[in-house]
Homo-oligomer: A and B are copies of this chain.
């Protein structure tokens, strides 16, 4: 069984190589491209209430899935060109966050990112 992320990264590398786009894919440029895609996702929710953002129509959900995918693709490209293992980095960061926000203190609090930092 092939790991889903490895298969996707291989496909992405092929896509970029076919178009000779590596020269444009500096980390600086890819970080810009990634935040632009993240903003297209934010745009879908900017005038929604939180409740509305949880109840998407099928059409909006499809558009949102495309923006998520675009952000994901640039995130993967960044991890590729920087040779960073994304899964390992996420596991490491989640462990750090677990220490920063211990269950007994963080439970049910939305002020976690200001009071605890």
Contact = CB atoms under 8 A, between A and B. Distances in A.
Given A19-B108, A27-B53, A35-B38, A8 B87 contact: yes
State how many copies of this chain the complex holds: 4
B27 A45 contact: yes
Interface string A89-105: 11111101110010100
| Chain A interface category by residue count | 35 or more
Interface of A, helix, strand, loop or mixed by DSSP: helix
Interface of A: 1, 3-6, 8, 11-12, 15, 18-21, 23-24, 26-29, 31-36, 38-51, 53-54, 56, 61, 64-66, 68-73, 75-76, 78-79, 81-82, 84, 86-87, 89-94, 96-98, 101, 103, 106-108, 110-113
